[in-house]
Amino acid sequence: MSVPDHDFAGRVASAFEPDGQLARAHPGFVAREGQRRMAVAVAEAIEQGEALVAEAGTGTGKTFAYLVPALVSGGRVLISTGTRTLQDQLFRRDLPAVRDALGLGLRIALLKGRSNYVCHHHLRRNLEDGRFERREDAAVLRRIERFAAISSTGDRADAPGIAEDSPVWARAVSTRENCLGQDCPDFDRCFVFKARQAAQQADVVVVNHHLFCADLALRDEGVSELLPSAAAVIFDEAHQLPETAVQFFGRSLSTRQLGDFARDLLRIGLADARDTADWTPASGEIEQALRVWRLAAGRPGRRDAPQLRGDREQRQALDALLALLDRIDALLMGAAQRSRDLARLALRGAELHRRLAQWLAMLDGTAIRPGAEPHEKGETDGPADELDEAVLWSEVHQSGVTLHATPLSVAPAMRRHREQTLRSWIFVSATLSVAGDFAHFTEAIGMPDARTLQLGSPFDYERNARLLVPRDCGDPGSPEFADRLVETCWPLIEANGGRAFVLCTSLRMVDRVSALLRERAGRQEAPIELLVQGSAPRAALLERFRVADRPVLVGSASFWEGVDVAGRQLSLVIIDKLPFAPPDDPVLRARIDALRRRGGDPFREIQLPAAAMALKQGAGRLIRSETDRGLLVVCDDRLVTRGYGRSLVRSMPPFTILRDAGEALAWLRDEA
């Protein structure tokens, strides 16, 4: 690590002065005391190798507040984001702007997971194979081929005309299991290798939480790391980190993974070793076994371990699949020497076989937990201990099933990796505390002693915003709740000329509310334009919302955060009810049971803090600039009638609270 000079914090603070480097480079820059305080705190954490948790309200300018000390520090810095959207924004806009303002000639790099980069080898193999479910899929793959031929990055974000949710993209990329590495005939032009090479040579590397957590998990498995070492790691959108980490420190196996394996078995087997085995029936047997499993799994939903242990039909299907994978292993071992692709496929099949066998053994109570390795005598607090309490559960969708082994907590793993590196870890978000208390987050990341900093928003919420908690919506659990919500909120939507988000806590509520709004809109002379989650890709819905005359967008979880619509275009946000996690979540139930056994209070320590942070995120969609004005409606009067509501209100910005919908309507009309 490069040791910063003795006046490091002073140099950082001076950049934020009214006549400092940022103001000189950006004429519209406004010096904010909260931003300067945060920048100095980040500088001190980097200098001392500490952990810092900083909550910065909307409008603080948190991005510049961590970028300036990161660039001035002189050491290599990793910046990790919760979303690829922010990752691209940092790399393409914010980082160059701050670097140039400071006059520093630093090298910056963008690094994503391999599924974001075209793989020349697998793209070519799939084009040559020519097996497509739809004719238009072949055209999309050809378009990706043309993009790969001229692109310097192979990054999906740079690919024009490829739908965000296109299933064809998966046929143009590699996975860790099927990548040929240096044995690949296209290695010299591999986009993934080039991106990682650029990251190794850069001073600042922008990654995302998924890639960062994948790197930690691979280190636990003894695999060479994906990311370069760094003096400091800064996590933006840090509130997403604990749940992202859970995905990578656990294990999963899905019908989709096995279906992809079956299709690759057929394609690669016929292409490289047609004479060694009957690949067509072998692939067909796997696909048939997956269909049997899906039927045995029953209706869509989540199942916990006790339910799964009692499901004899599904267990028979899984045992049959396990035996089939054992035979496929032997088949591939006999042909693996015929090509590099077959050798990789054999390893991939063996790994899928191992995962299923281990999951079933864990269900029976006869296996070491996922990620565990036999310990040296006296060794403790390693991967095996951390995953000793993994929660077993399954998730059934219309088209498939996923088996999960999820750790109760990632705190031990996060703490261990932080202690091993001794680098500064800095966590930044607008939502990290509950009523000023950071314990929920700091304990989730295994750093209860981390230094904390809370900076409120500089925006004047008391003057520019109102929070309506209407009396008329009734019990959120009643069958009439959606009707009452629309009855109460429709006059507000009309008075505001649309320009509203309706944020729901379930997809069922999205469907019900959107149907009721559509019915009302059809009776109006100047109808609203209704945009509903699922009717188009998220990015397309937001783009349309920003330009439509009277838009109302109805959505669930994906619209509660990471959405920025400034100005009058979004001046009404309606939240259906308090965002407590659904009771059918097996991992949540297991965490609640574990805490209760330790004598804790699950509602106060788990459920309420999670709801508070989610509510704060949803409310944060409303006021995005100093001149914004708007109304937030929370149609759940538990916010003001229950004792715990005070904690939720204290976690939100300081809105002026209204109870009467007529008063809110009058305020909206005055603002029009």
Q: Quickly state the pLDDT bin for 383 (edges 50, 70, 90).
A: low
Which is it for strands 401-406 and 251-254: parallel, antiparallel or unpaired?
antiparallel
Q: Residue 360's pLDDT is what?
A: 97
DSSP 32: -
CATH class name, domain 252-406: mainly alpha
Convert 530-545 into a string of H (helix), E (strand) and C (coil).
EEECCCCCHHHHHHHH
In the predicted structure, residue 386 carries a pLDDT above the cut 70? no
Q: Residue 379's pLDDT is what?
A: 39
Residues 6+ apart with CB under 8 A from 222: none
Burial zone of 106 (CB within 10 Å; 0-12 exposed, 13-18 middle, 19+ buried): middle
Q: Residue 583's pLDDT is what?
A: 78
User: Per mean pLDDT, which of 4-18, 382-396, 446-460 is the most reliable?
Assistant: 446-460
Q: Residue 375's pLDDT is what?
A: 36
Tokens of 34: 């909260």
Do residues 482 and 454 make contact, with C-beta atoms less than 8 angstroms apart? no
In the predicted structure, residue 4 carries a pLDDT above the cut 60? no
Q: Residue 525's pLDDT is what?
A: 66
Domain-wise residue ranges, the chain? 8-107+202-248+409-455, 116-188, 252-406, 461-671
> Which pLDDT tens digit goes with each residue over 424-436?
999 999 999 999 9
CATH class name, domain 8-107+202-248+409-455: alpha beta
Name the percent of the chain lying above pLDDT 90: 82
Helices 312-333/340-364 angle, 10° precision: 150
Do residues 468 and 632 make contact, with C-beta atoms less than 8 angstroms apart? yes
DSSP for 8-24, written as a single string: HHHHHHHTTSTTSHHHH
| Plot region of 181 (φ>0 → left; ψ -120 to 50 → alpha; else → beta) | left
Name the percent of the chain lying above pLDDT 70: 95
DSSP for 463-490, written as a single string: HHEEEE--SSS--TTSTTHHHHHHHHHH
| Main-chain phi, psi angles of 623, to 5 degrees | -105, 110
In the predicted structure, residue 1 carries a pLDDT above the cut 90? no
Q: How many CB atoms lie within 10 A of CB 593?
A: 12
Tokens of 225: 């790391």
In the predicted structure, residue 530 carries a pLDDT above the cut 60? yes
> Which pLDDT tens digit goes with each residue over 79-92?
999 998 899 999 99
Q: Quickly state the pLDDT bin for 267 (edges 50, 70, 90).
A: very high
DSSP 437: B
Q: Quickly state the pLDDT bin for 372 (edges 50, 70, 90).
A: very low
Q: Residue 253's pLDDT is what?
A: 96
Q: Quickly state the pLDDT bin for 380 (edges 50, 70, 90).
A: very low
Options 2.60.120.10, 3.40.50.300, 3.30.1490.20, 3.30.559.10; CATH for 461-671 is 3.40.50.300
57-61, 157-161, 266-270, 482-486: which has the minimum mean pLDDT?
A: 157-161
Calpha distance 541→106 (Å, rounded): 37
The reply to whether 461-671 shares the fold of 8-107+202-248+409-455 is: yes
Q: Quickly state the pLDDT bin for 645 (edges 50, 70, 90).
A: very high
Q: Quickly state the pLDDT bin for 164 (edges 50, 70, 90).
A: confident
Q: Quickly state the pLDDT bin for 647 (edges 50, 70, 90).
A: very high
In the predicted structure, residue 332 carries a pLDDT above the cut 80? yes
31-40, 169-178, 365-374, 496-505: which has the minimum mean pLDDT?
A: 365-374
Average pLDDT over all residues of the chain: 92
Q: Residue 223's pLDDT is what?
A: 64
Whole-number CA gyration radius for the chain: 26
Number of H-type helices and E-type strands within the chain: 29, 18
> Which pLDDT tens digit goes with each residue over 165-224?
788 999 999 988 889 999 999 999 999 999 999 999 999 999 999 999 999 988 877 666
